[in-house]
Amino acid sequence: MAAATWQGTDEEFARLEQAVAHNCDCVVGTLGLPPLTCPAHVMLGDQTTLDHLLYVYRTRQGFITREFTQSPFGPSPLPVRSGRSGRNQSCGPKGGR
């Protein structure tokens, strides 16, 4: 199995290192017990996860901006029903009434 590699910038890697250090629960082996590697450090060996994290790092701001800021043009208008009955005229029986 090939080692996972970070495809992002040095600044993005520093951010990842900081996040992993903040969430690290590794246990040093003592009293004859083996050391335990925490899930955050295990994740660093998974290439797919690293690639996905990088994608999220780079795209999240766009999603946040679109989700939490209002368009200068206001909300998009609701579709308008045609006809007085409020029913969609393209549905229902065909005929000339």
Is residue 55 within 8 A of residue 48, CB to CB? The reply is no
Residue located via tokens 């910038």:
9
Nearest to Zn ion of 19, 64 (CB atom): 19
Q: At what angle do helices 47-68 and 10-23 cross, to 10 degrees?
A: 100
Nearest to Zn ion of 15, 41 (CB atom): 41
Is residue 41 within 8 A of residue 20, CB to CB? The reply is yes
**Residue choice 12, 13, 41, 57 for contact with Zn ion (CB under 5 A):** 41
Q: Should residue 24 be labelled a site residue for Zn ion when binding is judged by CB under 5 A? A: yes
Nearest to Zn ion of 24, 56 (CB atom): 24
Q: Should residue 26 be labelled a site residue for Zn ion when binding is judged by CB under 5 A? A: yes
Q: Should residue 38 be labelled a site residue for Zn ion when binding is judged by CB under 5 A? A: yes
Sequence-distant (≥ 6) Cβ neighbours of residue 89 within 8 angstroms: 82, 83
Nearest to Zn ion of 26, 64 (CB atom): 26
What's the min distance (Å) between Cβ of 23 and Zn ion?
8
* Token pair of 96 as six digits: 């000339």
Residues that bind Zn ion (CB under 5 A): 24, 26, 38, 41
